[in-house]
Chain A
Amino acid sequence: MQTKGKVYGIISNLVIVNTEGVVAQNEICMINHEGTPLMAEIIKVSGNQAFVQVFESTRGIKVGTDVEFTGGMLEVTLGPGILSRNYDGLQNDLDKMEGVFLRKGDYTYPLEEDKKWSFKPLAAVDDTVTAGSWLGEVTENWMPHKIMVPFKMEESYKVKWLADEGEYLASDKIAVVTCDKGRDHDITMIQKWPVKIPIKAYVNKPRPFKILETGLRMFDTLNPLAEGGTGFIPGPFGCGKTVLQHAISKQAEADMVVIAACGERANEVVEIFSEFPELEDTRTGRKLIERTTIIANTSNMPVAAREASVYTAMTIAEYYRSMGLKILLLADSTSRWAQALREMSNRMEELPGPDAFPMDLPAIISNFYARAGYVELPNGKTGSITFLGTVSPAGGNLKEPVTESTKKAARCFYALSQQRSDSKRYPAIDPTDSYSKYIDYEEVREYMKQNIAPDWHDKVVEAKNYLLRSKEAQEQINILGDDGVPIDYHIVFWKGELVDFIISQQDALDETDRFCPMKKQKFMLYKVLEITDREFEFENFDEVAFWFKKVINVMRQMNFSDFETDDFEKYHNELIEILKEK
């Protein structure tokens, strides 16, 4: 028997419901607004009153309106057909909605009802299976999509029957399993899972040890993100957070990319919608859209669904991770999600924490980041979710609560700097403030030793030192003047500039430079360090600047040329000639 209730009060998107029975925290209810059920989630219960946040505009709702509680939390529907789809924050398929404008209470089915999938069994009758065990697979956009024992089935089961290889609807029965008590359970390709609860169908979550390649030197060379790792990009507006995230979503070496556009601009999502079906994944040659799922809850869409959108995205990522895939999850921006929490906390008249954010914000953020990770599945295979979030600090001040809470949770920090952006040094990540904690992991160092070069770690540290010393030299020059310091200071300054221009900076709009393969990154770093390691003699500081600018100019041309082509070699030879001068 479902609990019913009636609307008692309305304050913006917070609705107070008088209930007539049992309700649960985070339970979903439907407010019957003039014949259209509007979805809402319980966020507080007080006596027989439930405070619900409505995932829609509350315009026109009246006191006394009927409310029905569903008995379940906010869930996503998991099954084949999620790839390439554009969802809103509640996993409604945006393409299935009619009309140009979003209509209130228009909830659409997230999967394809009529599509037949060619199923291939992976398990056998009498196999013992548990939640997350692979029963079979279908091919989704060329990717093997495993059909698993639903995560909600917590016991151990024996496979009683398994469908033969063939074409089935996602809703068809493909297996029957029997629990210890002898009860049979039918399994289809579809299952549901509440978004706020992590899917834990893995046996082990070891420390990340591999580098996730992105083709960006600022990441791969200087501050590598590990596969299964976490990172965040804080930055004032206009410093290139979104350009950076888009570049990573296009280039990162992942099987699947889930993008949560959370409270950001609609045109940015449109850019993905229109470009990804055209652009090719450089590694597989397939269209980018084939490996991408977009959760779009743009800033003008209802605020409550904004919070749900990041959880929806994470749950979808966890589902695919359980298939042994490498997932990259991007959320832009987690600050908007925190603001959604703040709006609700404010309406419920909770005592505010710093900057009026709810007190438990740090806990909410770190719990969310903890859902990422590299995992070992029960069948010995591995999967991963690498999570990269952006943060939009108010006023560009990194001491605000969202940035500080995230800094505690994420392992990589890519600080976008207004100053670098102003001088068009892109990506505007500050190379000295930013860090990757993974670079000091024993496992990661071993991986770099094996897969890049034995002395790679030392070389990266060396490059960073040049950047740091250059910054110090620059400060001295600024204080004492060009003439007031020895020429050596100028040399130190320009060595760092060389590292900055050739390694740190990268032109996202240049067809070649936007993606720098690892072997080119390696070549360029060694080349730069070969120059910076040399001792120089110059007559005066003007000469230092002039010579280094020449070197930078020709090395930039190398960055603009495809690796190991005639063009590249031409500039390389020019460089060798310039180097002979000194």
Chain B
Amino acid sequence: MTETRAFQKIFTKITKITKATCSLNADGIGNEELAIVNGKLAQVVKIIGNEVTLQIFSGTEGIPTDAEVIFMGKPPALKVGDDLGGRFLNAYGRPIDGGPELMGQEREIGGPSVNPVRRKQPSELIATGIAGIDLNNTLVTGQKIPFFADPDQPYNQIMAMVALRAQADKIILGGMGLTNDDYLYFKSVFENAGALERIVAFINTTENPPVERLLVPDMALSAAEYFAVEKKQKVLVLLTDMTLYSDALSIVSNRMDQIPSKDSMPGSLYSDLAKIYEKAVQFPDGGSITIIAVTTISGGDITHAIPDNTGYITEGQLFLRRDTDIGKVIIDPFRSLSRLKQLVIGKKTREDHSQVMNASVRLYADAANAKTKLENGFDLTDYDERTLAFAKGYSDKLLAIDVNVDTDTMLNTAWKLLSDNFAKEEVGMKEELVKKYWPETKE
């Protein structure tokens, strides 16, 4: 890894080895310091007296009791500089694209938090062209938001699409447990879009050891902080898949004999995830870090500890669901939410945005009730029929992820759908807005 230097401490007597950790007797070692054990990178996770426990990222397979342990005297770091642009790196921040070694300045990863009083309130809209996002769950720079998706949904494709439309200065991809196919997919999408110079990728694929993943978010966010703080750039960080990251956390905590809490996850899961997501920030001088992540869920269950803790940390979530009526993947309006949307809707978008959004979703909920009625074999009222017609149009023309239009067009489409199916009194909106925007001619 790094050349041995004279003052580094070398030990050769290991006293304990587990699947992920090894322990040895050593003095003068700092907490969270890096070490190299027979060429494998490791980090100090526990010190009791002179017994130091190291977590070996790539696993302890083949580590002998006389392994050579070199302590580096510093925590994990990344070399940051402009030469990061366009690079594909591994979880340790080393090139995997055949390019030259990084030359930049070494920076500790997982560094301190931003002082909350030095943050600025996010206020810049990120347009994606997808109505399920822009209309119902508008994104803002400095926000952190995950996609909640079942493993069979095209979340990586959607994320790549959002990233390319978002007009960020830099896109930083943190891939954790990516299949090799998805890794190559991201690479080719970014290449084809001619966006490669704006990309930095930290990749841990399914071929790499799982515990290595734990370094990926911190690496990606250290790179992001460099561009956002020092270059004042708008940085978009993509993290996929945070469920696989959390699984790696539970492996480590299990090997450290910690008492598991809900769903076998470590009790510190909330704090561990918050440390990553809270790196999303709007700096006062223009730089920002926006995090879009993927949390895969099982059968739509968001009560599992991973999506549950994530939801309490992130500023909303985008919930992908296949709509069987139209046969497309939609952004579910009930389960999805962008907490920062009220900072921009009606301010950076048209005045009717908030009410149109709420009325449409309310009527879409009525349609869901009507559907239940239908399934239970009851007759539908005229109103029920109309909500169903509305819901179908709403799914197809607005919620489907293949929609790509601007916000005004989305609003006009929504008004059209409302007026096609309902009377003015039924939409329950502010009268002055109805007067102004209700399309007078019916088809």
Whether B46 contacts A342 by the Cβ 8 Å rule is no
Write the nearest CB–CB distance from B309 to chain A, whole angstroms. Answer: 8
A9-B48, A61-B30, A481-B379 as given contacts; A94 in contact with B274, CB under 8 Å: no
Nearest-neighbour CB distance to chain A for B177, whole angstroms, equals 24
In A469-517, which residues have CB < 8 Å from any B CB?
478, 481-484, 501, 509
Flag if B113 contacts A94 (CB, 8 Å): no
Q: Given A343-B268, A553-B428, decide whether A101 and B120 contact each other with a Cβ distance below 8 A.
A: no
The reply to whether A267 and B365 form a contact with Cβ atoms under 8 Å apart is no
From B274, which residue of chain A is reached at the shortest CB distance?
Answer: A299
- In contact, B121 and A274 (Cβ under 8 angstroms): yes
- In angstroms, Cα B29 to Cα A549, docked, is 72
Q: Please tell me which one of the listed residues A62, A237, A300 contacts residue B311 in the complex, with CB atoms under 8 A apart.
A: A237
- What 0/1 pattern do residues 105 to 116 of B give for CB contact below 8 A with A? 000000111111
CA gap between A269 and B115 in the complex, in Å: 11
- B258-281 interface bits toward A, Cβ cutoff 8 Å, 1 = contact, 0 = none: 111110000110110011001111
Contact between A556 and B428, CB atoms less than 8 A apart: yes
Which residues in A have their C-beta under 8 angstroms from that of B28?
A: 62-64
B267 near A343 with CB under 8 A, answer yes
> Do A60 and B425 touch across chains, with their CB atoms under 8 A apart?
no
B315 at the interface (CB under 8 A from A): yes
Residue A10 is within 8 A (CB to CB) of chain B in the complex = yes
Residue A533 lies at the interface, judged by CB distance under 8 Å to chain B: no
Which residue of chain B is the closest to A269 with respect to CB atoms?
A: B116
A266 and B117 alpha carbons, distance in the complex (Å): 9
Mark interface residues in A376-407 (1 if CB within 8 Å of B CB, else 0): 00000000000000001011110000000000
Q: Which chain A positions have C-beta within 8 A of B426? A: 549, 553
**Given A300-B278, A356-B261, are A62 and B271 neighbors across the interface (CB < 8 Å)?**
no
A238 touches B311 (CB 8 A): yes
Do A424 and B312 form a contact, CB below 8 Å, given A9-B47, A60-B30, A343-B267?
no
- Interface flags for B353-373 (1: CB within 8 Å of A; 0: not) read 010001001100100000011
The answer to whether A482 touches B381 (Cβ under 8 A) is yes
Assess the A266–B267 pair: CB atoms within 8 A: no
- Asked, given contacts A100-B283, A557-B431, whether A9 binds B115 with beta carbons under 8 Å apart, the answer is no
Q: Tell me how far the C-beta of A284 lies from the nearest C-beta in chain B, rounded to whole angstroms.
A: 25
B117 near A86 with CB under 8 A, answer: yes
Chain B residues with CB under 8 A of A16? 48
Q: 8 Å CB contacts to B: which residues of A338-375? A: 339, 342-343, 346-347, 349, 352, 355-356
The interface residues of chain A lying within 8 Å CB-to-CB of B317 are 238
Which chain B positions have C-beta within 8 A of A270? 116, 119-121
Chain A residues 497 to 555 lying within 8 A of chain B, measured CB to CB, are 501, 509, 541-542, 545, 549-550, 552-553
Distance in Å from the Cβ of A73 to the closest Cβ of chain B? 24
| Residue A173 interfacial (CB < 8 Å) | no
Residue A273 CB within 8 A of the other chain? yes
B308-336 CB contacts (< 8 Å) to partner A: 308-309, 311-313, 315-317, 334-335
CA distance A61 to B75 in the complex (A): 11
B369-389: which have CB < 8 Å to A?
Answer: 372-373, 376-379, 381-383
Least distance between B54 CB and chain A CB atoms (Å): 13
Whether B278 contacts A298 by the Cβ 8 Å rule is yes
Query: CB of A422 within 8 A of chain B?
Result: yes
Whether A100 and B118, one on each chain, are in contact in the complex, defined by CB atoms closer than 8 angstroms, is yes
Does the CB pair A394–B262 fall under 8 Å?
yes
Pair B270/A102 contact, Cβ less than 8 Å: no
Q: Are A298 and B311 in contact (CB under 8 A)?
A: no
Report yes or no: A58 in contact with B112, Cβ–Cβ below 8 A.
Answer: no
* CB neighbors of B among A247-301 (8 A): 263, 265-267, 269-271, 273-275, 296, 298-301
Contact of A271 among B27, B121, B383 (CB under 8 A): B121
Inter-chain contact B116/A61, CB cutoff 8 Å:
no
Query: Given A339-B270, A346-B259, A482-B379: A101 and B303 within 8 A (CB)?
Result: no
Q: Is A151 an interface residue (CB 8 A)?
A: no
For residue B120, which residues in chain A have a CB less than 8 angstroms away from its CB? Answer: 270, 274
Tier of interface size on chain A: 35 or more
Is B153 engaged at the interface, CB distance under 8 Å to the other chain? no
Say if the beta carbon of B206 comes within 8 Å of chain A.
no
Whether A95 contacts B278 by the Cβ 8 Å rule is: no
Taking CB atoms, residues of chain A closer than 8 Å to B30 are: 59-62
Given the contacts A299-B271, A482-B379, A356 and B260 also touching, CB distance less than 8 Å: yes
Partner of A336, one of B116, B259, B270, B425: B270
Partner of A396 from the list B29, B303, B342 (CB cut-off 8 Å) is B303
Q: Is the CB of A97 within 8 A of B116?
A: no
Which residues on A sit within 8 Å (CB–CB) of B275? Answer: 299-300
Q: Does A147 contact B (CB under 8 A)?
A: no
Known: A95-B117, A395-B303, A396-B303. A481 touches B378 (CB 8 A): yes
| A447 within 8 A of partner (CB) | no
Q: How far is the CB of A263 from chain B (nearest CB, A)?
A: 8
Inter-chain contact A94/B270, CB cutoff 8 Å: no
Decide: B114 and A266 in contact? CB cutoff 8 A: yes
Is A245 an interface position by the 8 A CB rule? Answer: no
Q: Which of A242, A274, A346 contacts B267 (CB 8 A)?
A: A346
CB <8 Å contact, B303 and A303: no
- The answer to whether B48 and A8 touch across the interface, beta carbons within 8 angstroms, is yes
Q: Contact check: which of A62, A299, A545 meets B383 at CB < 8 Å? A: A545
Q: A59-B32, A60-B31, A299-B278 are in contact. Are A422 and B354 (CB under 8 A)?
A: no
30 residue pairs A–B, Cβ–Cβ below 8 Å:
A8-B48, A8-B49, A10-B46, A59-B32, A63-B29, A63-B49, A100-B115, A101-B113, A101-B115, A102-B115, A263-B274, A267-B142, A270-B119, A273-B116, A296-B116, A299-B270, A300-B275, A301-B113, A343-B268, A343-B271, A346-B258, A356-B260, A395-B262, A395-B302, A423-B361, A481-B376, A542-B381, A542-B382, A542-B383, A552-B428
List the 9 shortest-distance A-B pairs measured between CB atoms, nearest first.
Answer: A395-B303, A299-B274, A300-B278, A481-B378, A237-B311, A9-B48, A423-B365, A356-B261, A422-B334
List chain B positions with a Cβ less than 8 A from chain A.
27-33, 46-50, 75, 111-122, 142-143, 229, 258-262, 267-268, 270-271, 274-275, 278-281, 283, 302-305, 308-309, 311-313, 315-317, 334-335, 337, 339-340, 342, 354, 358, 361-362, 365, 372-373, 376-379, 381-383, 425-426, 428, 430-431
Given contacts A8-B48, A301-B113, A557-B431, 17 further A-B contacts (CB under 8 A): A16-B48, A58-B32, A59-B32, A101-B114, A237-B312, A263-B271, A266-B113, A267-B280, A299-B271, A303-B271, A343-B271, A394-B305, A394-B308, A395-B308, A481-B373, A482-B378, A553-B428
